[in-house]
Amino acid sequence: MDSDKLKKMAAAVIRTEYEAVTLLLERIDDRFVEACRLLLACPGRIVVTGMGKSGHIGGKIAATLASTGTPAFFLHPAEASHGDLGMITADDVVLAISNSGETGEILTILPMLKRLGIPLITMTGNPRSTIARAADVNLDVTVEKEACPLGLAPTASTTAALVMGDALAISLLESRGFTEEDFAHAHPGGTLGRKLLLRVEDLMHAGDRVPQVPAGTTLARALVEMTRKGLGMTTIVDAAGRIEGIFTDGDLRRALDVAVDIHRTPIDDVMTRDCWTVPPDMLAAEALNLMDSHKINALAVVDESRHVIGALNMHDLLRAGVV
């Protein structure tokens, strides 16, 4: 095939699937609302099942539900009739996906589901099929045609089922009042999890690792403290340990521009008095935003009484993946 034919074929596929998804808008009706109510009322888990390509879509829907506040897992219908049906409890709701509505492996387990009295929600491309008629709620995901020119490979039909599954998951998310922090708890290893779960106290240098000198110290002694602690800054505190200022690499460059005597100059004369500080329970992402906004690379961490309890620099945040 030449380039033009490839482009036309790709455009035709996208157009067909776009039209299939657009048709779903007409089917967001009372049946969709009832499906959401059944899922919200479920005291157990949502068991998603489907065969073949519908099974792959089901796996993704189950994962999306689980990560957005609705406990769910995928059950292979063929394995279900060989023992895995024991995974389903009377507290669960089953979401079955079948484009034909006549998938043999799902039909096999229907009697057991009915015996347990488990609510059954289905997504089918045939509202008059056996599986659709057995459901408490059937969501119509019929497509006019597949994107496959042979009309055989599941393409538009699987896309429609996937989009309907996403519509369910996000509607449930909103209904539950699911927050970004809830999402982060389900994704602790991801970037969002690091942004929303990590706090300053998780990353800050504390105890003996905090660069700190008393007010009145010479600039030379402050530089020794900065070198020992390696954070490119030192805090300056009063006799009670409350912060009076901060001295950074930038302050040092400015001091050297006016040729100060590092052995005689008190740190009080060259430090930044109105320095930015953060509390230990601040989100690390907020601290990063503060540094970006004010073009600074280090922060002192203080308690409610302004006592210095830690120090944080940009490298700490970068190493933790808070970007």
What is the phi-psi region of residue 69: left when phi exceeds 0, alpha when psi lies from -120 to 50, beta otherwise? left
Same domain, 141 and 241: no
% residues pLDDT > 90 (the chain): 67
Domain assignment of residue 255, given as a range: 200-319
Q: How buried is 221 (Cβ within 10 angstroms: 0-12 exposed, 13-18 middle, 19+ buried)?
A: middle
What is the structure's pLDDT at 26? Answer: 93
Does residue 165 or residue 195 have the better pLDDT?
A: 165
What is the structure's pLDDT at 227? Answer: 92
d(CA 203, CA 287): 11
Same domain, 246 and 135: no
Split at pLDDT 50, 70, 90, the class of 148 is confident
What is the structure's pLDDT at 67? Answer: 84
Same domain, 18 and 105: yes
Same domain, 231 and 311: yes
**Cβ atoms of 214 and 281 closer than 8 Å:** no
Same domain, 76 and 222: no
Q: Does 102 have pLDDT greater than 90?
A: yes
- Domain assignment present for 146: yes
Split at pLDDT 50, 70, 90, the class of 321 is confident
Same domain, 164 and 274: no
Q: How many CA atoms lie within 13 A of 84 on its CB side?
A: 15
Does residue 321 or residue 91 have the better pLDDT?
A: 91
Same domain, 25 and 130: yes
CATH number of the CATH domain containing 58:
3.40.50.10490
Same domain, 207 and 297: yes
Split at pLDDT 50, 70, 90, the class of 204 is very high
User: Domain ends where: 143, 178, 213?
Assistant: 178
What is the structure's pLDDT at 182? Answer: 55
> What pLDDT digit, counting tens, does each position of 40-54 carry?
999 999 999 999 999
**Cβ atoms of 279 and 255 closer than 8 Å:** no
Question: What sign for the dihedral angle of Cα 121, 25, 126, 129?
Answer: positive
The distance between the two most distant Cα atoms of the chain, rounded to a whole number of Å, is 92
Same domain, 233 and 265: yes
Q: How many domains does the chain have?
A: 2
Split at pLDDT 50, 70, 90, the class of 82 is confident
- Domain assignment present for 234: yes
Instruction: Please compute the mean of the pLDDT values over residues 142-159 and round it to a whole number.
Output: 89
Same domain, 163 and 306: no
Q: What is 204-263 written as a DSSP string? A: -B-GGGS-EEETT-BHHHHHHHHHHHTSSEEEEE-TTSBEEEEEEHHHHHHHHHTT--TT
